Amino acid sequence: MALIVRKYGGTSVASMDHIRRVAWAVTATKEQGDQVVVVVSAMGGETDRLLKLSEEITPVPAAREQDALLATGEQACSALLAIPLESLGYRAQSFTGIQLPLITDHVHSKARIIDLKTDLIKNSLEEGIIPVIAGFQGVSKNGSITTLGRGGSDTTAVALAAALKADRCEIYTDVDGVYTADPNICPRARHIEKISYSEMLELAGLGAKVMHVRSIELAQKYQVPLVVKSSFNGMRETWIVNEEDIMENSIIKGVTLEKNVSKISLIRIPDRPGIAYQILEPLADAAINVDMIIQNVSIEGYTDLTFTIPTTDLNKASDLVYEVARNIDALEVRADNNIVKVSAVGIGIKTNPGVAARMFKALSEENINIEMISTSEYRISCVIEEKYGELGVRAVHKAFGLDATESTETGS
Ligand code: ADP
Ligand code: ASP
Ligand code: MG
């Protein structure tokens, strides 16, 4: 008898019909003799709907209340799945993050898990009850509801699988696994059967939203066997495994598009020691993740500084930067959310010179201007104008020989 933690994403529970189908699938697995712990996202579109409601009131809603609001999406869905399970004659119990509890730090909208109590779940399993957990949410030590960041139900599932020492964690979504690029923007993307935790971590961190980045960190740390499958088509799947379990490796594993990226530039700031610290420290204190940073050469003691942040933090970051800019007499602050980041990811990058040049050539052949560049052992990223994002992904995908001969059938 296997213990399986199975997560259903928003599209898999988008309507009551979908939820009924999920209930049947869960009971079928139970009938095979396995134990299942289910984790659900909010019904498709619900988190966006709730976000819009609060942003109708103010562009920067109180973070604590925003999390309390968003967590209701998953709470409703967990009860909406437990009800049909019960009416099919099975015993089921829904649990929220507070009930478990899943304890997090206090960083609203991107909280990290500190501790996860599994007593209630274990008790349910012992009594033959199917636990249905509301994903994406937790509670901070001071009793406030927190959320784990967009896509965070994956992280709830992997954390539970680790804590329960489950045999595997299954992520059910609207694609039948991980592809070499988002199949919805790159029709020639190829299905990947096995991908290493390290490569999946990079892909997820750079915009491949098929998996939440922290879920991969946890899966790697606790060695959780992780598989991505489609709720709509059972033919293929992707296993996320250790690097040494993969026989074949290509230089580039995949190409990503990150849309949640904006840049802020401070023009004509004094070029003196401590200035970057003065600008970036308030952002770090506000838990805003600054990614690429470029400082121009100094002219007559002045320079310009440009950096990228998630668009979701743009309003908050702009407020903080304007304040510093006034104090240091910057000439101007410019905020731009009209950009995206295209990245090529692969463990072969560090050992294959010329990979970056190939990517730049692919973009230039499409007349796409590169605004910012960053590289690491595993990736090359270029910031470009938003309207060229999808074209850029397709061009880079093709340039690295990743295109499949036929158009992708994702089964979604
Ligand atoms: P869920 O609601 O089930 O969590 P998500 O929308 O978060 O689903 O993730 C699935 C989506 O991820 C797919 O529909 C696809 O558009 C997108 N995606 C982005 N990059 C990739 C990739 N490399 N492989 C597969 N899907 C990807
Ligand atoms: N409902 C949340 C979101 O839309 C969390 C999740 O789906 O994983 O981001
Ligand atoms: Mg998701």
Ligand sitting nearest the alpha carbon of 47: 2
Beta-carbon contacts of residue 190 (< 8 Å; ≥ 6 apart): 179, 180, 402, 403, 404, 408
Atom of ligand 1 nearest to the CA of 10: 2
Return d(Cα 54, Cα 365) in angstroms, integer: 43
Q: Does ligand 2 come within 6 angstroms of the Cβ of 42?
A: yes
Q: How far is CA 278 from CA 119, 262, 291, 336, in A?
A: 46, 20, 16, 21
73, 42 contact by CB (below 8 A):
yes
Domain boundary among the residues 288, 319, 336 is at 336
- Pocket, ligand 1, Cβ cutoff 6 A: 9-12, 41, 151, 173-175, 178-179, 181-184, 203, 208-210, 254
Q: What is the CATH number of the domain that holds 289?
A: 3.30.2130.10
CA 315 to centroid of ligand 1, rounded, Å: 26
Tell whether 368 is covered by a domain.
no
Is there a single domain that holds both residue 153 and residue 287? no
Tell whether 13 is covered by a domain.
yes
Is there a single domain that holds both residue 169 and residue 290? no
CA-based torsion, 94, 35, 213, 141: positive or negative: positive
Is there a single domain that holds both residue 159 and residue 36? yes
What pLDDT, in 10s, does the model give residues 183-226? Answer: 999 999 999 999 999 999 999 999 999 999 999 999 999 999 99
CA 248 to centroid of ligand 2, rounded, Å: 33
Is there a single domain that holds both residue 29 and residue 165? yes
Q: What is the pTM of this model?
A: 0.94
Which residues of the chain have a pLDDT value below 70?
Answer: 249, 407-412
Is there a single domain that holds both residue 146 and residue 273? no
Tell whether 385 is covered by a domain.
no
Q: Among all chains, which residue has been given the structure tokens 């213990």?
A: 3
Is there a single domain that holds both residue 274 and residue 128? no
Tell whether 371 is covered by a domain.
no
Is there a single domain that holds both residue 165 and residue 33? yes
CA 188 to centroid of ligand 2, rounded, Å: 27
Is there a single domain that holds both residue 170 and residue 43? yes
Is there a single domain that holds both residue 55 and residue 162? yes
Residues 34-62: b if buried by 16+ CB within 10 A, e if exposed: ebbbbbbbbbbebbeebbeebeeeeeebe
Residue 273 DSSP one-character state: T
Domain boundary among the residues 174, 190, 223 is at 174
CA 265 to centroid of ligand 3, rounded, Å: 31
Atom of ligand 2 nearest to the CA of 73: 1
Ligand sitting nearest the alpha carbon of 149: 2
Return d(Cα 180, Cα 190) in angstroms, integer: 5
Atom of ligand 2 nearest to the CA of 150: 9
Tell whether 101 is covered by a domain.
yes
337, 389 contact by CB (below 8 A):
no
Q: What pLDDT was estimated at residue 408? A: 62
Ligand sitting nearest the alpha carbon of 110: 2
Is there a single domain that holds both residue 25 and residue 165? yes
Atom of ligand 1 nearest to the CA of 212: 7
Tell whether 364 is covered by a domain.
no
CA-based torsion, 134, 135, 137, 141: positive or negative: positive
Q: Which amino acid is present at 361?
A: K
- Lateral strand order in the sheet of 332-336: 293-295, 302-309, 262-270, 332-336
CA 258 to centroid of ligand 1, rounded, Å: 12
CA 182 to centroid of ligand 1, rounded, Å: 7
Is there a single domain that holds both residue 13 and residue 153? yes
Is there a single domain that holds both residue 170 and residue 315? no
Q: Which of 47, 215, 231 to mutate to test the pocket of ligand 2 (most atoms within 8 A of CB)?
A: 47
Q: What pLDDT was estimated at residue 251? A: 86
What pLDDT, in 10s, does the model give residues 240-282? Answer: 999 888 877 678 999 999 999 999 999 999 999 999 999 999 9
Tell whether 185 is covered by a domain.
no
**Residue 404 phi, psi (nearest 5):** -75, 155
Closest-CA residue, ligand 1 atom 15, reads: 182
Tell whether 405 is covered by a domain.
no
Q: What is the CATH number of the domain that holds 8?
A: 3.40.1160.10
Domain boundary among the residues 316, 336, 356 is at 336
Return d(Cα 16, Cα 13) in angstroms, integer: 7
Q: Among all chains, which residue has been given the structure tokens 């952002």?
A: 283
Tell me the CA end-to-end span of the chain in Å, nearest whole number. Answer: 30
Domain of residue 311: give its range: 262-336
Q: How many domains does the chain have?
A: 2
